[in-house]
A and B are shown apart, each in its own frame.
Chain A
Amino acid sequence: MPQIVIQNITKTYTIGNERIDAVRAASLEIEKGDFLSIVGHSGSGKTTLLSLIGGITRPSSGAVFYDGTDIQALGSDLLSDYRCEKIGFMFQFASLLPMLTVKENLLLPSAFRSRRSEIEETKAKELLSMVGLVEKINAYPPQLSGGQQRRVAIARAFMNSPEIILADEPTGDLDEDTEMAMMDFFRKMNRTEQITFVMVTHNTDLARRTQRQFRMSHGVIRQQ
């Protein structure tokens, strides 16, 4: 059974009198351990599709199934548990909380877990080490460069040992070398931990390094 099944999903926004179909009748099956990318222009519906998979918005029609469970049928708390325990988000923008240190930013998702782990701090250090920022553990986000902040956000996405990473332009602020290093890190996590990756990117070269590539245009998704 596929890990994620997106079934004829549509998301419509109403702005004033205008109706905008951000995602139109999208269907997709994602197996556990998949590494797929979605490319497309700004406003093509990529971020909305990621949000629908991640349960941070509800579709206007259609359904998203995770391991056979319709996530739309989940109540608010269970949907939050799904986001907390199963999903790791990498946002398109700088998403660190400025008043928290790097370590505290990494520990933030753990604070929302029903069952806390005893090795949270150790794990935070390990992840920071993997993205090459362990020496910045007690720094505050404003003390970091944009690229460093992005890497901290990448590390944070793995804190709760997610089964799926939803990455929205995860390497946008990174130089070419660091971008490649992060991609290697993603592939390593994909292979060793069997973490599923759904990555949105403008970068077609980066997309080519994934197992499956999709393109979105005007809310419609197609495999390339």
Chain B
Amino acid sequence: MSDRFTLSSLALHNLRRRPLRTGILVAALTLMVAALVFALSFVMRVNASINLTAERLGADLLVVPTGSRGAAEDILVENKARSFYMSRSMVDRIRSIEGIDKVCYQTYLVTLTGLCCSVPESMIVAFNQETDFIVTPWLKNKLGRKLQKGEAIVGSESAYNINLGLVNVDGLLFGNVFHMVGVLDKTGSGLDTAVFISDDNIEEILKNSKAGIRPDQISVIFAKIRKGADLYKVMSEIENTILEVDVVMRKDIGKSLITSLGDISKIFYLTMVLSTSLSLFLVWAIFTAIANERTREVGIMRALGAKEKHVVKLFLIEVLALGAIASIAGIIGGSALTLLTAKSFSILKNLPVELSVTARVFISLAGLLFGTGICALGALAPIRRLKKLEPLLVIKQE
């Protein structure tokens, strides 16, 4: 029989009984799930960006001038344009440390719109093609050859920034015309927004512009350690012997960003705890009211043969349906909020990594489980009370 009367039919009737009260409960749960989805999306996106940057860096250690650790992370994790310099002699000193396998270096220049360059503020990364192991694998993959003097290749996200969008066009960088020969594949790091040139060009750049650096200066040294060497020992050796530098381990990249996000995370957690407590209380209060209202009905149903499990099932269907509706609305709302704020929050705007489909599915499932779980938890006590109701007590009250 297609339209057989079941407990689900009864639950559906019950859900329609007090639309305003049901609406308030759904709205509260929706807000709670939306807040959770937003917070999870934010935190997971920051973490994914940091992890991917560290994973794809291709180096075990990052050596920067003392005090420039934060600026280096700004470039790598948050796509921000920064410049800092140290002497190139540091490369040999790092190479001479016990346990170091190989090193390479990069020099960072920041373009200034209108003064020297035909592009908005961007990072220009000059690298040594003989020693480099950071950019070269990507370059080989895309271009299949080394960059010539006067040639540049742009990061996957920078093509739009420099208004090119196409390869085989010329752009003015620090008073020098560069031929853009291609666009690198997306690396997932902050360097995706940079423009890459060979460090052969530095001399010409210095000749034709006021780039503000000396020819023997570099920005960052990347180091790989020998197999079996103790990473912590090598790092400590560098810091103890070369006072002009700071060392960042690959796994620690993004730590300063995470620290600076600590307060935001605390606000998120506090908001979640408050909204969860409020929702839990609201569900409990509303279902206690529902239980009081329906005591007589449950007594009648028990007298007509309903088992305890029927009473539990009836209310669970209602609770889970409400939780599921609110959770789905919350997931949609939270995702929309994430998308909207992605353009408003500078930190989100600069993060190189978007959430993967798997991460989005995980967040949605977490929202669904959380929303329905809180709903079920809040209704537990009133349902237990109704389940144990003795029908005669209700009948005698009439």
A residues neighboring B (CB under 8 Å) = 47-48, 51, 54, 56-57, 76-77, 80-81, 83-85, 87, 89, 91-93, 95, 97, 99-100, 104, 107-113, 116, 118, 120-121, 156, 160
Residues 303-333 of B, flagged 1 when their CB comes within 8 A of A and 0 if not, give 1111111100000000000000000000000
Which of B16, B300, B391, B398 is the one whose CB lies under 8 Å from A97?
Answer: B300
Tell me what chain A mostly uses at the interface: helix, strand, loop, or mixed: helix
Query: B9 contacts which chain A residues (CB < 8 A)?
Result: 104, 111
Residue pair A51, B395 in contact (C-beta under 8 Å): yes
Instruction: Indicate if the CB atoms of A84 and B305 lie closer than 8 Å.
Output: yes
The reply to whether A85 and B392 form a contact with Cβ atoms under 8 Å apart is: no
Q: Nearest-CB distance from B228 to chain A (Å)?
A: 67
Min CB–CB distance B286 → chain A (angstroms):
17
Asked if B345 is at the interface of the complex by the 8 Å CB criterion, the answer is no
Beta-carbon contact of B395 and A160 below 8 Å:
no
Residue pair A80, B14 in contact (C-beta under 8 Å) = no
Which of A97, A107, A118: most chain B Cβ within 10 A? A97
Bound together, the chains give a CA A91 to CA B301 distance in angstroms of 12
Given contacts A99-B16, A104-B9, A120-B1, contact A47 B395 (CB under 8 A): yes
User: Which residues of chain A come closer than 8 Å to B5, judged between CB atoms?
Assistant: 104, 107-108, 110-111, 120
Specify the chain A residue showing the minimal Cβ separation from B387.
A76
User: Which one of B10, B305, B309, B392 lies within 8 Å of A57 (CB-CB)?
Assistant: B392
Task: Please give me the 5 A-B residue pairs with the lowest Cβ-Cβ distance, nearest first.
Answer: A84-B305, A57-B392, A107-B5, A93-B398, A80-B307
Instruction: Specify which chain A residues have a CB less than 8 angstroms from the CB of B391 in the assembled complex.
Output: 51, 56-57
Give A83 to B307 CA distance when docked, in angstroms: 10
**CB of B4 within 8 A of chain A?**
yes
Q: Mark B8-48, 1 if CB is under 8 A from A, else 0.
A: 01100110110000000000000000000000000000000
Contact present for B307 and A111 (CB under 8 Å)? no
A108: chain B residues at CB < 8 Å are 5, 10, 301, 304
Contact B10 A84 (CB under 8 A): no
Rounded to whole Å, the gap between the CB of B308 and the closest CB of chain A is: 6
| Contact of B305 with A81 in the complex, beta carbons under 8 Å | yes
Let me know if B166 is at the binding interface, CB within 8 A: no
Q: A89-B303, A110-B5 are in contact. Are A56 and B395 (CB under 8 A)?
A: yes
Distance in Å from the Cβ of B188 to the closest Cβ of chain A?
55
> B398 to chain A: which residues have CB within 8 Å?
91-93
- Most chain B beta carbons < 10 A, residue from A80, A111, A120, A121: A111
CA separation between A113 and B304, bound complex, in Å?
A: 10
Which of chain A's residues has its CB closest to B300's CB? A95
